[in-house]
Amino acid sequence: MDAAAGSPLGWLCAGVTILLGVTVLCRAQRSPLGKAKVLLWSLPAAWLCAATLGAAGGLGVFVAVCLLCSLCPGDSDLLPVGDRAVLITGSDTGIGHALAKYLDSLGFVVFAGVLNKDGPGAEELRRSCSQRLSVLQLDVTSTTQVKEAYLTVSEKVQNAGLWGVVNNAGILGFPADGELLPMSTYRHCMEVNFFGAVEVSKTFLPLLRKSQGRLVNMSSMADAMSNNLVNFHKGGIPLPRYAAYGASKAALSMFSGVMRQELSKWGIKVMAIHPSGFRTGIEGTAEQWDKQEKELMENLPADTRQAYGEEYLLGLRNYLLHLPSHCAPDLSPVLGAVLHALLARTPQGLYTPGKGAYIPLCIFCCFPLWFYDFFISKMLRADSVPRELRTSGDEGKNL
């Protein structure tokens, strides 16, 4: 059998068997992170078994693990909703807006924090949701508004405490090369995506302590899996043009991991949600793009502007225009992940809803960094090349 394993037929059988196992695993009702972790641990186990039991034994173990994971979808035992109260930030649009409606329909007492309590998003929530839902004026970068929201919520929940806080408020900023982004973009992303979530968490923790509730932080695949895969890579999954956004979300991811460890002694569970590729409107409006693009152009040094060229700089807006077309409009995987985080008796520390999360994660964890960089460069191929690189390339061809 060992000889057969080394023959072309043996390698063909091995390839087919591994393909079968991966296919079964991909079809399993598990999160992308769960699938990736199975691959990370089952492949070395398969090779180890192959060394002791032979090729057939190793491949058999691999397929068995994949089948077992496909039959065990994880914890589905949810607590009853009852009169549990949840605060959601950033409920004007996108995930926060959909989540507020979804949890209200399930019977939660929802406190929907919005940036503009008189805006269309807030009005839609008042019109379409039950009287259990309260709309709160809550700019997470305003200490005054955060404290006022805390007083309002604590007065309504009283001794019952607050069951959940979902830090969803976030901004994308103008996607551009990190060298091009003005420092104000980095600061603004950190203020909203990180410092805002930290202040909301710290302010409402006394209410979560009363109920031994849940803290859920909405992060992003742009900073990826630094919490649960820290043993493999100390950092996040980088994506071009998201230096400011990714850095702020990576900070939030690390904050979530540390708080998960520290708050467990109080009975508070902390989860991070890393959605990938969903159409949420976080990219903003054309008016906001004009303002951000103007700020970017005004702060560019002359030599940097010359190196990149006007064509490349103007092409950044085209990237924003096409961004929604690559995102899934159905937010139900994200809503389901948040619900599981809020009600599961043993929630996961990290959720990665979205079909796009699985492949980049596996490549980042299982392959050298140069291969991941190559993969991302091909997946996110730029429409244009900086002027200086284009000119040098043309000169090289002429030589």
Q: How far apart are CA 97 and CA 177, in angstroms?
A: 30
What distance lies between CA 267 and its chain's CA centroid? 25
Reported as a single tens digit per residue, the pLDDT across 7-43 is 555 555 555 555 555 555 554 444 555 555 555 555 5
* Alpha carbon distance 42, 61 (integer Å): 8
Instruction: Quote the pLDDT of residue 234.
Output: 31
Tell me which residue of 280, 296, 86, 10 sits closest to 180, measured CA to CA: 296
Instruction: Enumerate residues 6+ apart whose C-beta is below 8 A from 165.
Output: 86, 87, 200, 201, 204, 208, 213, 214, 215, 216
Hey, what amino acid is at 313? Answer: L
CA distance linking residue 352 with residue 30, whole number of Å: 10
Q: Which residues pair with 87 in a beta bridge?
A: 111, 165
Residues marked active site are found at: 245
Tell me the DSSP string of 256-269.
Answer: HHHHHHHHGGGT-E
Phi, psi of 79, rounded to the nearest 5 degrees: -70, 155
Helices (H) and strands (E) in the chain, counts: 17, 7
List pLDDT tens digits, range 70-104: 444 455 689 999 999 999 999 998 889 999 999 99
Most confident of 171-180, 258-267, 368-377: 258-267
Choice among 22-36, 46-60, 326-340 with the minimum mean pLDDT: 22-36
Does residue 215 contact residue 201 with C-beta atoms inside 8 Å? yes
Hey, what are 236's tokens?
């996040």
Using DSSP's 3-state secondary structure scheme, residue 344 falls into strand
User: In the block, which residue shows the tokens 């186990």?
Assistant: 45
**Which range has the worst mean pLDDT, 111-115, 232-236, 344-348?**
232-236
Q: Does the pLDDT of residue 108 top 80, yes or no?
A: yes
